[in-house]
Chain A
Amino acid sequence: MTTAAEPGQEVGKGRLRKEDARLITGRTRWTDNMNLPGMLHMAMLRSPMAHARITNIDTSEARQMPGVLAVVTGADLADSQGSLPCAWPITEDMKSPDAPSMAVNQVNFAGEVVAAVVARSAAEAADALEGIDVDYDELPVVLDLEEAIADDADLVHPDLGTNKSATWIFDSAEAGTGGAVDEAIGSAEVVVERTFRQQRLIPAFMEPRSIVVDPTGEQVTMWSATQVPHILRLMLAMTLGVPEHKVRVIAPDVGGGFGGKLQVTPEEVITFLLARELGRPVKYTETRSESLASAHHGRDQLQKMTIAAQRDGTVTGLKVELLADMGAYLRLVTPGVPILGAFMYNAIYKIPAYHFACTNVFTTKTPTDAYRGAGRPEATFAIERMMDELANELGMDPLELREKNWIKHEEFPYTTVSTLTYDSGNYEAATARAKELFDYDGLRREQAERRQRGDTVQLGIGISTFTEMCGLAPSRVLGSLSYGAGGWEYGAIRMLPTGKVEVITGSSAHGQGHETAWSQIVADKLGVPFEDVEVLHGDTQSSPRGLDTYGSRSLTVGAMAVLSAADKVIEKAKPIAAHMLECSPDDLEFSGGKFTVRGTDTSTGIADVALAVFAAHDLPDGVEPSIDADATFDPENFSFPHGTHLCAAEVDTETGQVRLRSYVAVDDVGKVVNPLIVEGQVHGGLVQGIAQALFEEAVYDESGTLMTGTLADYLVPSAADMPSFTTDRTETPSTTNALGVKGVGEAGTIASTPAVVNAIVDAIRHMGVNDVEMPCTPMRVWQAIQGGAQSAAGPGAESGGGMGSLDAEGGAR
């Protein structure tokens, strides 16, 4: 058979996503929508204490409650649960505590699981939690990073003897990539120091985590709302000692992750163990409050920054000293998150001397781990804030200072002081376009006028000229960083007899639009209609190999594997097509889905070859009856998207309220497969980065209780809180992959946070302000204006109005 119409060029087309209808309506296979015969329901009891010894757990009442089949405590699981994996030992002497899925003797953060109930219904399981009585013996909490590393500090894990997990250092003089930073600082004409706080954030994905485990087959099947089904299967095998081939993991449609579902969770392990024990399917779906309190958090660092420069603006050195909050345990990649930033502090600039040192610290808080950008937003924030502070110190325009120090487009490929080789980029072009769209000069004039007349509302302009490393990652590089896995990705193509195509990808989507983008790429490559391509993912049975989705790796690594498999399909089809056309394979060319005898109009379609292979009646000697192929792609380098973001913020100096007036993002993500998906990623990314600047913060009280435990307190913004973004792109193709593409999933988040804070500080700098701590709440901004310089301490923790203070007496009466 042949296809109906000649397919047009798909790559570059802004197609609506195949996935949208089912994802938006929710009529799809979310894990919590799964119902299996005989399925039981689980609920978790979590510690209200941040740090305590468990002296007794009485489950006798819960066991008697209606519908209850099992109540288990950490003591029951102590021998079977193993220790949750940490795959990134950043140093040889890194200290890592045992990490039980269910606390056995001691709880180390509020929200840690201490018991679980399995019942016939979810309501009965929830009811029975109230029948469990836990006695705690309180231990001192460890909450503050600086206090945690003091000599006399209380210890989170006394057996480790310290709250320091590891210290990781990069020094350009030692590495031979640059000078000694202390010399640069000592001899500098200008030195600027600042300490920034990266507040703790919560990924707050839309779909709460959910797990169903069915132990009734030969393979135990786990459905999980995870970003990483393949890693999860491997880690279940390694953690629990179950044979890997006896476990199948399925990530069905997953409602967002942002790094928050790049994890092997206590809940997954506990559900697996109890389903296996009971011999029946078990479902667990967390509540939103459980998710906020116990799913891993992100950021939470103190960044001491020192930048050295000459009076003419030439940067001569950069020193970065970090304290990074691990929380109570090291989860899957917890210790490596701040280290990813080490390569990004030098950003787009030519910095001759660089020193980075990070100390990872334990506290009695929820573990931190990957969150959109993971290490790179922190680095980008700090360097972009420092460039503004340095510009102010030098009396230079902050854009001019950046231009003086950035890598020029003709200098690529460029090897940085932190050892990365940027393959391509054009910072001049992106900046020129952003300035034009923003009306930079016009807004500077308005800013001057408002200052002049002492307007209540002051205007500030914030700049972020960012780059980032993504497309994780060359396996050799990950190996050199002691990461516990490679960075390759797997893809495969199955040619069906009717000419339709199944694409298998190891990159497990959770909202990104892989099904659409991969279909576009394969449609072009094999010359088949977009509609004839189906993309399968997220099931270890259908996509047997994979390293999943994070670090903006799907397109640059995952799609490259698919492309490579498609090449193999064509190569396998060629001798068969030649046999069908009775010519030599060397005489064939493949284009638009057809093998054509060069110089003639004799041809056969790839679908005809697929059918011939299915029949296998007349194949060349020694040729197997299949043109299916798979491929594994290991990238040779990261990809380095970049861009220039400009933000205009109005600050109401009477109230401290910040209003974003305009935001221009010009991103360079190389070649674009689907501009609509890119636009969506940029918009969502911007909102998440702006949310760090203005709204979101996980706040703990002095007893270590999370105060922002509902979405009424943890302020995830909505469209109503955002300006209308102006976006555009420059297109400098990546030279390290055949598609010329770069990652886009994290760029907006990485770029936008410093643009917003720079704009706020710029608006009120003349009032004596040189920093406002994030999130820049109205009160913090107002206090900064009142007090000048640094913002004051945070607000109190009394119960005022609003949802956060509802108590048992609440409710309409």
Chain B
Amino acid sequence: MIPAQFDYVAPTTVDDAVRALADAGEEAKVLAGGQSLIPVLRMRLAAPTKLIDLGKVAELRGVREDGDALVIGAMTSHYDIVRDPLIADHAKLIAMATSTVADPQVRHRGTFGGSLAHADPAGDLGATALALDAEMVVHGMDGRRVIPAGEFFVDYFTTALRPGELLTEVRVPKYTGWHAHYEKFNRVAQAWSIVGVAAAVRVEGHTIQEARVGLTNMSSVPVRAAGVERALVGQEATPEAIKAAAEHAVEGTMPVADGNADAAYREHLAKVLTSRAVTAACG
């Protein structure tokens, strides 16, 4: 289908983009990789008056180090994330989760920041960012502020971004030497997660010293499986211990019943997949 008519602007700097967003007002939409927005426009589920295309803002692309953190530009494509050496060394959970997103064509177009700002609870990157205690750096006419991942996701497709604010970069603490795994469960290869589990662990000897676990599509927002994390710390990385810890996976979740799964099945999957994700991460 053909989208309703809109105006289009393609700024080349963050400042210009923020100004364009402020000028355009409530009815504007920001276009990142377009992998969710374009279908929405084509199906006329939304009819923004103006699109602000970030595709030409070079400063929003790429991954760099900043002390103990990695800084990921919001417009870095999934494809670039998956093959980025800094991510591989310090935050490989992100690369693992990103490599499961949709199909190669989508990964070449879709962006890290666009996916997070879209805040689809079935998207794979929210739980990952949450598990890793990422921070969202946003810019608006009032300047820059930082939103912890735990406060960023508010509801279905809703974030803590205020009108006129732009997600510009994501700061992720370095998890150098950690082991990680993203366990995605879906019905066909290019589909969204029915449930997904992002897990990162720091293991010394056979003992789990620290654990980070995030759940995809177990609520209207990504869920941090804090109960699982607590239960894992200090445990030997045995199948029994991990399985016992994974029983906590449903705490704080509110899964829906949709075309793929009812709530009870999602809860069951969350436990099984958490166990598998942590086991795989522990290697």
A binds B: yes
Residues of A within 8 A of B (CB): 122-123, 126-127, 130, 287, 289, 654-655, 657, 694-695, 699, 707-708, 710, 712-713, 715-718, 720-721, 777-779, 782-783, 795-813
Taking a contact as CB atoms under 8 Å apart, the answer to whether A657 and B192 are in contact is: no
Taking a contact as CB atoms under 8 Å apart, the answer to whether B192 and A810 are in contact is: no
Contact of B88 with A by CB under 8 A: no
Find chain B residues with CB under 8 A from A655 CB. 185, 269, 272-273
Find chain B residues with CB under 8 A from A777 CB. 187, 260
Find chain A residues with CB under 8 A from B44 CB. 126, 130
Find chain B residues with CB under 8 A from A720 CB. 188-190
Contact of B235 with A by CB under 8 A: no
Bound complex: CA A127 to CA B44 (Å): 10
Taking a contact as CB atoms under 8 Å apart, the answer to whether B156 and A799 are in contact is: yes
Q: For B260, give the chain A residue with the smallest CB separation.
A: A795
> In the complex, how many angstroms separate the beta carbon of B267 from the nearest chain A beta carbon?
12
Taking a contact as CB atoms under 8 Å apart, the answer to whether B265 and A779 are in contact is: yes
> In the complex, how many angstroms separate the beta carbon of B23 from the nearest chain A beta carbon?
16
Find chain B residues with CB under 8 A from A778 CB. 185, 187, 194, 261
Contact of B118 with A by CB under 8 A: yes
Find chain B residues with CB under 8 A from A800 CB. 121-122, 217, 255-258, 260
Bound complex: CA A807 to CA B32 (Å): 18
Bound complex: CA A798 to CA B259 (Å): 8
Q: For B192, give the chain A residue with the smallest CB separation.
A: A802
Taking a contact as CB atoms under 8 Å apart, the answer to whether B258 and A806 are in contact is: no
Find chain A residues with CB under 8 A from B193 CB. 801
Find chain A residues with CB under 8 A from B188 CB. 695, 715-718, 720-721
Taking a contact as CB atoms under 8 Å apart, the answer to whether B217 and A127 are in contact is: no
| A801-B122 contact given A126-B2, A721-B188, A795-B262, CB 8 Å threshold | yes
Taking a contact as CB atoms under 8 Å apart, the answer to whether B29 and A779 are in contact is: no
Taking a contact as CB atoms under 8 Å apart, the answer to whether A812 and B114 are in contact is: yes
Contact of B214 with A by CB under 8 A: no
Q: For B117, give the chain A residue with the smallest CB separation.
A: A812
Find chain B residues with CB under 8 A from A289 CB. 1, 43
Taking a contact as CB atoms under 8 Å apart, the answer to whether A798 and B256 are in contact is: yes
Q: For B194, give the chain A residue with the smallest CB separation.
A: A778
> In the complex, how many angstroms separate the beta carbon of B106 from the nearest chain A beta carbon?
11
Bound complex: CA A444 to CA B78 (Å): 43
| A795-B257 contact given A715-B188, A809-B157, CB 8 Å threshold | yes
Find chain A residues with CB under 8 A from B91 CB. none
Contact of B12 with A by CB under 8 A: no
Taking a contact as CB atoms under 8 Å apart, the answer to whether A810 and B268 are in contact is: no
> In the complex, how many angstroms separate the beta carbon of A44 from the nearest chain B beta carbon?
11
Q: For A719, give the chain B residue with the smallest CB separation.
A: B189
Find chain A residues with CB under 8 A from B37 CB. 810-812
B192 CB contact (under 8 Å) in A122, A801, A813: A801
Known: A799-B258, A801-B217, A810-B40. 17 other contacts (CB 8 A): A127-B4, A289-B43, A694-B187, A715-B188, A795-B257, A795-B258, A796-B257, A796-B262, A801-B123, A802-B120, A802-B122, A802-B217, A805-B258, A811-B157, A812-B37, A812-B118, A813-B159
| A808-B258 contact given A712-B191, A801-B192, CB 8 Å threshold | no
Contact of B158 with A by CB under 8 A: yes
Residues of B within 8 A of A (CB): 1-2, 4-5, 29-32, 36-37, 39-41, 43-46, 48, 103, 114, 117-118, 120-123, 156-159, 161, 185, 187-194, 216-217, 255-262, 265, 268-269, 272-273
Find chain B residues with CB under 8 A from A699 CB. 259
> In the complex, how many angstroms separate the beta carbon of A619 from the nearest chain B beta carbon?
60
In the A-B complex, the 7 residue pairs with the smallest Cβ-Cβ separation, listed nearest first, are A801-B122, A796-B257, A800-B258, A720-B189, A802-B192, A801-B121, A811-B37
Find chain B residues with CB under 8 A from A813 CB. 29-30, 117, 159, 161
Taking a contact as CB atoms under 8 Å apart, the answer to whether B120 and A799 are in contact is: no
Bound complex: CA A520 to CA B32 (Å): 51
> In the complex, how many angstroms separate the beta carbon of B219 from the nearest chain A beta carbon?
10
| A779-B262 contact given A806-B36, A810-B157, A812-B117, CB 8 Å threshold | yes
Find chain A residues with CB under 8 A from B185 CB. 655, 657, 778
| A126-B36 contact given A695-B187, A805-B258, CB 8 Å threshold | no
Q: Which of A695, A798, A806 has the most CB of B within 10 A?
A: A806
Taking a contact as CB atoms under 8 Å apart, the answer to whether A811 and B40 are in contact is: yes
B2 CB contact (under 8 Å) in A123, A694, A783, A806: A123
Bound complex: CA A637 to CA B43 (Å): 48
> In the complex, how many angstroms separate the beta carbon of A117 from the nearest chain B beta carbon?
12
Bound complex: CA A517 to CA B20 (Å): 59
Bound complex: CA A654 to CA B265 (Å): 11
A-B contact pairs, 9 of them (CB 8 A): A708-B259, A720-B189, A779-B261, A779-B265, A782-B265, A797-B259, A800-B255, A811-B41, A812-B114
Taking a contact as CB atoms under 8 Å apart, the answer to whether A783 and B45 are in contact is: no
Bound complex: CA A453 to CA B122 (Å): 36
Bound complex: CA A782 to CA B118 (Å): 32
Find chain B residues with CB under 8 A from A717 CB. 188
Find chain B residues with CB under 8 A from A695 CB. 187-188
Taking a contact as CB atoms under 8 Å apart, the answer to whether A806 and B157 are in contact is: yes
Q: Which of A707, A717, A796 has the most CB of B within 10 A?
A: A796
Taking a contact as CB atoms under 8 Å apart, the answer to whether B45 and A127 are in contact is: no
Bound complex: CA A655 to CA B270 (Å): 10
Bound complex: CA A797 to CA B260 (Å): 9
Taking a contact as CB atoms under 8 Å apart, the answer to whether B261 and A795 are in contact is: yes
| A804-B259 contact given A122-B2, A782-B268, A813-B159, CB 8 Å threshold | yes
Find chain B residues with CB under 8 A from A809 CB. 46, 157-158
Bound complex: CA A777 to CA B185 (Å): 12
Taking a contact as CB atoms under 8 Å apart, the answer to whether A805 and B260 are in contact is: no
Q: For A658, give the chain B residue with the smallest CB separation.
A: B187
Find chain A residues with CB under 8 A from B157 CB. 806-807, 809-811
Taking a contact as CB atoms under 8 Å apart, the answer to whether B45 and A810 are in contact is: yes
Find chain B residues with CB under 8 A from A804 CB. 258-259
Bound complex: CA A798 to CA B156 (Å): 12
Find chain B residues with CB under 8 A from A801 CB. 120-123, 156, 192-193, 216-217
Q: Which of B29, B30, B187, B194 has the most CB of A within 10 A?
A: B187
Taking a contact as CB atoms under 8 Å apart, the answer to whether B187 and A812 are in contact is: no
> In the complex, how many angstroms separate the beta carbon of B214 from the nearest chain A beta carbon?
14
> In the complex, how many angstroms separate the beta carbon of B125 from the nearest chain A beta carbon?
12
Bound complex: CA A799 to CA B37 (Å): 18
Find chain A residues with CB under 8 A from B191 CB. 712, 715, 802
Taking a contact as CB atoms under 8 Å apart, the answer to whether B32 and A812 are in contact is: yes
Find chain A residues with CB under 8 A from B158 CB. 809
Bound complex: CA A777 to CA B29 (Å): 36
> In the complex, how many angstroms separate the beta carbon of B87 from the nearest chain A beta carbon?
21
Q: For B216, give the chain A residue with the smallest CB separation.
A: A801
Find chain B residues with CB under 8 A from A710 CB. 43
Bound complex: CA A803 to CA B259 (Å): 12
| A810-B118 contact given A712-B191, A715-B187, A799-B156, CB 8 Å threshold | yes
Bound complex: CA A655 to CA B186 (Å): 11
Find chain A residues with CB under 8 A from B118 CB. 810-812
Find chain B residues with CB under 8 A from A694 CB. 187
> In the complex, how many angstroms separate the beta carbon of A547 from the nearest chain B beta carbon?
35
Find chain A residues with CB under 8 A from B43 CB. 289, 710, 806
> In the complex, how many angstroms separate the beta carbon of B186 from the nearest chain A beta carbon?
9
Q: For A287, give the chain B residue with the smallest CB separation.
A: B1
Q: For A793, give the chain B residue with the smallest CB separation.
A: B262
A783 CB contact (under 8 Å) in B187, B260, B265: B265
Q: For B32, give the chain A residue with the smallest CB separation.
A: A812
Find chain B residues with CB under 8 A from A797 CB. 257-259
Taking a contact as CB atoms under 8 Å apart, the answer to whether B31 and A812 are in contact is: yes
Find chain B residues with CB under 8 A from A122 CB. 2
Bound complex: CA A783 to CA B268 (Å): 11
Taking a contact as CB atoms under 8 Å apart, the answer to whether B45 and A721 are in contact is: no
> In the complex, how many angstroms separate the beta carbon of A423 from the nearest chain B beta carbon?
40
Taking a contact as CB atoms under 8 Å apart, the answer to whether B36 and A811 are in contact is: yes
Q: Which of B157, B255, B273 has the most CB of A within 10 A?
A: B157
Taking a contact as CB atoms under 8 Å apart, the answer to whether A707 and B259 are in contact is: yes
Bound complex: CA A289 to CA B40 (Å): 13
> In the complex, how many angstroms separate the beta carbon of B5 from the nearest chain A beta carbon?
7
